[in-house]
């Protein structure tokens, strides 16, 4: 056999082997489609068997519930934040993101540690808030029905209802041993996301916490479509009134819209500073969000800022706190945040009637550190937002509960003093918010430093006399001349 024929045969054989190897090692499009078809066929076969052989006949509505529950259950096994949003829930979700929705006014989720339904945050001024529901409460029953093993969407359905109707929640307060039943009347919820410390005589929020020192206090209780406009209005007004320091309270803030968090951060950061980066499962899905100056907001003055966090500050509130902390724009005071650093995209389904809420990415702060706390994360690992060194405030369960009671007591507005008052009203009046006190102490100290730095320098002869140090070979006249040309530098501490 000639060399040419031998080489030709060997080449054909090699090509065939390579082709066979690739066929075996790389899944073909046909194989992928076949697997999808098999999965769909399994689902259809299961539904068909249920419809034909289940002990009770299921009508169309029951079969629809079964399908939605199967989807929701599977998604929630992936992670607690992925879910299927039914038609009714999707309408409520759209209203909530706009700052208006129906219900009793609480945000709930499944606690990844206990698997029980937990209150992420009651909304200020809502029926749930005024009835005594607090962040961290576990909802054990709804109208006598146990919530254990109940899908989260079913919990939401049972709590929601027509305005004016009542619902009874069996609630276990954090730190308590015995649950209590709380009756709540449902209402249409219209809330502001930006609040002050307390209301004045005109029932409007007072945003000055120390009017003499010009230190303002602003609470952001959620990040909705209206938050940026609300906050811009408040901050611009305070800046025109010569605000010199700001307390930004994000305690109990469960988060909200990513866009809102980026825009709020942009109010206090220089143009182009990184706010947050989202990372999906591929490099192409990485997205960087930088600060962008709003054309309607006045540039923020370089006043000191203290951000207050607690263990229920999550998601968008963690983005804002991390961005301002990493860029040394604010000091974080209080407790370590919740650690909810995953991104859920709401994908419209069935022509926009329903939606798929799917975890598609994770949040990463400007420093490059992770925000999300996974179920197996340990305390010593990197997640959430920690207070700055020296500013962590350890709270007991009793103090944390008393804080929520005190905060609610200051927020409730009563007509002409009418309405029920707590039995421990005098105790609540005397409560001290140690986290807020720490923030005020810090800001007042920063303002004193600024005042010292801006104080006029002594005249040349006095400065020379107080700080004169002769150097061998240098005359007194030369030293005075140099001192006059180069005054003592002043360092402004930040």
Provide the annotated active-site residues.
315, 326, 340
User: Strand runs (DSSP E) across 287-374, as ranges?
Assistant: 287-290, 305-309, 331-334, 342-349, 354-364
C-alpha distances in Å from residue 438, one per residue of 46, 337, 365, 392: 60, 17, 25, 10
Task: Write the DSSP assignment of 301-324 as a string of letters.
Answer: P---EEEEE-TT--THHHHHHHHH
Element counts in the chain: helices (H) and strands (E): 14, 21
Collapsing DSSP to helix, strand or coil, 99 comes out as coil
Eight-state DSSP code of residue 6: H
Q: What are phi and psi of 275, to 5 degrees?
A: -100, -50
Q: What are phi and psi of 292, to 5 degrees?
A: -130, 125
User: C-alpha angle with apex 418: 415 to 422, nearest 5 degrees?
Assistant: 120
User: C-alpha angle with apex 89: 76 to 136, nearest 5 degrees?
Assistant: 60
User: 174: which 2 tokens?
Assistant: 């954090």
C-alpha distances in Å from residue 214, one per residue of 55, 210, 309: 71, 6, 22
Rg (CA), the chain: 30
Query: Tokens 């689902």 identify what position?
Result: 43
């Amino acid at each position: 056999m000639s060399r040419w024929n031998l080489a030709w045969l060997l080449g054909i054989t090699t090509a065939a082997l390579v082709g066979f190897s690739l066929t075996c090692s790389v899944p073909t499009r046909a194989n992928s489609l076949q697997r999808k078809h098999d999965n769909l066929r399994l689902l259809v076969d299961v539904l068909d068997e249920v419809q034909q052989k289940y002990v009770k006949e299921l009508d169309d509505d029951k079969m629809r519930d079964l399908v939605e529950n199967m989807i929701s259950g599977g998604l929630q096994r992936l992670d607690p934040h992925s879910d299927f949003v039914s038609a009714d829930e999707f309408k409520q979700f759209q209203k909530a993101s706009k700052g208006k929705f129906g219900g009793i006014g609480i945000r709930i989720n499944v606690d990844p540690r206990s698997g029980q339904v937990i209150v992420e945050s009651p909304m200020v001024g809502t029926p749930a808030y005024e009835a005594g529901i607090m962040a961290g409460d576990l909802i054990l029953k709804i109208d006598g029905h146990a919530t254990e093993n109940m899908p989260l969407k079913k919990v939401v359905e049972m709590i929601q209802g027509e305005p004016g109707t009542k619902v009874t929640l069996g609630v276990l307060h954090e730190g308590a041993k015995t649950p209590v039943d709380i009756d709540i009347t449902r209402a249409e919820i219209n809330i502001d996301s930006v609040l002050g410390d307390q209301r004045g005589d005109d029932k409007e929020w007072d945003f000055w916490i120390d009017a003499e020192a010009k230190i303002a206090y602003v609470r952001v209780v959620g990040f909705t479509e209206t938050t940026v406009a609300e906050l811009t209005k408040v901050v611009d007004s305070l800046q025109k009134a010569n605000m010199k320091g700001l307390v930004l309270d994000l305690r109990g803030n469960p988060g909200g819209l990513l866009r809102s968090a980026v825009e709020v951060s942009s109010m206090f950061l220089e143009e182009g500073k990184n706010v947050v980066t989202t990372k999906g499962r591929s490099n192409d899905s990485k997205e960087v969000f930088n600060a962008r100056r709003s054309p309607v907001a006045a540039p923020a003055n370089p006043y000191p800022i203290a951000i207050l966090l607690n263990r229920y500050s999550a998601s968008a509130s963690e983005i804002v706190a991390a961005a301002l902390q990493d860029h040394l724009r604010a000091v974080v005071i209080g407790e370590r945040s919740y650690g909810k650093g995953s991104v859920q995209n709401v994908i419209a389904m069935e022509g926009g009637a329903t939606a798929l809420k799917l975890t598609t990415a994770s949040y990463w702060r400007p420093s490059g550190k992770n925000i999300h706390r996974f179920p197996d994360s340990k305390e010593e690992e990197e997640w959430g937002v920690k207070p700055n060194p020296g500013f962590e405030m350890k709270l007991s369960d009793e103090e944390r509960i008393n804080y929520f009671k005190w905060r609610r007591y200051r927020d409730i507005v009563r007509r002409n003093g009418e309405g029920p008052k707590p039995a421990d009203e005098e105790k609540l009046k005397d409560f001290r918010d140690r986290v807020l006190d720490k923030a005020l102490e810090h800001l007042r100290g920063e303002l004193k430093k600024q005042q010292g730095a801006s104080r006029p320098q002594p005249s040349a002869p006095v400065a020379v006399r107080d700080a004169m140090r002769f150097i061998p070979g240098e005359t007194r006249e030369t030293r005075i001349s140099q001192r006059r040309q180069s005054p003592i530098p002043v360092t402004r501490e930040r």
